[in-house]
Amino acid sequence: MGPESCFDFVKLPKTDLHVHLEGTLEPEMLFRLAGRNHIPLPWKSPAMLREACRFRDLAGFLAIYYKGCEVLVTEQDFYDLARAYLERAAADGVVHTEFYFNPQLFCRESTPLAAIMRAIFCAMDEMRDRISSFYMGTVMRTRPVEEALRALDELAPWYDRIVAFGMGGAENGNPPSRFQRYFDACRERGFRTCVHAGEEGPAAYVREAVALGIDRIDHGNAAIQDPELVRLLAERRIPLTMCPISNLRLNVVNELSGHPLKRMLSRGVCVTVNSDDPAYFLGYASDNWAAVHRALDLSGAELRQLALNGVEASFLPEARKAVLREKIKRVLPSA
C-alpha cells in the first residue's frame, strides 16, 4: 500500500452499517421512476434536484427525501432501487452492508408489503456472491409508539430475513425513552436494536439509548459533550455508526475538521464510518472514508482500527467477522 494520504479507499474492504435504502435513490433513477409511474416532480432535471440537495438542517432534507419516496410505487421499482444500491456498494469496496428500509413510508394500496419485501430480498439474494447484506427494519419516531408496534408485527412473515430494528426521523422532542415498549418488543422477538441519537438531539438522548440497552447507536455525535458518557460507550463497546458527509451536509458540524470521530476513536469508542443517505448527501462509503481521512488527518493505525470497528459493530456471525478482519489486515497492515 502506498502512503495513506493517497490511498484509494475503494480498495479497502469495508462495512456500511448505517444506510437507508430509500436514501440511495439517485436523481437519475428518481426521474426515471417518476416518468414510469406518471408522478410530477418539483424539479425539472436531475441536476436541479442535486442543486436542491443543499440542506440547512434535517427537516429540509427530510422534505426532499419523502418527496423522493413517492416515486417508488411498483414491485419493480423497489427491486431496481435495492439492486442498484447493492451493485454500487459492491463496486465501492463495501463487503458487507446493513441497510434500513421503512415500509411506513409507502402506500400499501399501490404495492402490498409482500411485494415490496419480495423485491428487496430478491435483489439481496441475487447479489450475495458480490456483497453480503442484512435488512434492518425501522420506524419513525415522529409517529405514535402504537404505530411502531404495528409496523413490527406487520413484518412478522419476514422475521427470518431481518437482523435488527431501529428508529429514525426528526430527533428533537422525540427521545428514545418514549419508544421503550417498541425496543422491548424488538428484543422479545430476538432482534438486535439500533436508534438514531445525538445527531440533532442532545447527549442526553444518547445516554437514554444506553439506558434502554440499545445494541448500536446511529450517529451519536453529541456524546462528545459528556465525558462520562464517552467513557461508558468505550467501556461497553457500544458502537456508533457515524456518517461524516451526512453530518456536514446537514450542518451537524460546520466543517469536517470539527467532527468528533477522531476524538472518540482516541478514547476507545467503537466508532465506524458509514454513508447514511448517499444519493442525497452526494457521498458513498469510500467518499466518507476519504473525506474524514483528509479532514482529520487519520493515521494508518487509526484507519485500520476504524475498519476493524466496522466489522466488530456489524451483526455478522463471528466466523464471517474473522474472515473480514483478515482481509482488512492485509490491506491495512499494522505499522
- Report in angstroms the alpha-carbon separations of 13 from 102, 244, 279, 299, 335: 27, 19, 21, 17, 18
Strand order in the sheet with 271-273: 14-20, 94-101, 132-140, 162-168, 192-197, 216-219, 240-242, 271-273
- Report in angstroms the alpha-carbon separations of 42 from 48, 169, 328: 9, 23, 44
Residue that the C-alpha cell 465525558 belongs to: 227
**Which grid coordinates belong to 49?**
434536484
Contacts of 300 (CB under 8 A, 6+ apart): 4, 332, 335
Handedness of CA 194, 74, 284, 43 (dihedral sign): negative
Residue type, 12: L
**Which grid coordinates belong to 90?**
459492491
- Give the Cα separation of 136 and 134 in Å (integer): 6
Closest CA to 231 of 273, 205, 268: 268
Dihedral pair phi/psi, residue 217, rounded to 5°: -110, 125
180 CB neighbour count, 10 Å cutoff: 15
324 CB neighbour count, 10 Å cutoff: 22
Please pick, among 70, 199, 208, 302, the residue that the annotation labels catalytic: 199
Instruction: Find out whether 194 and 220 touch, Cβ atoms under 8 Å.
Output: no
For the chain, the first-to-last Cα distance in angstroms comes to 12
Dihedral pair phi/psi, residue 208, rounded to 5°: -60, -40
* Residue 51 annotated in active site: no
- The catalytic residues are 199
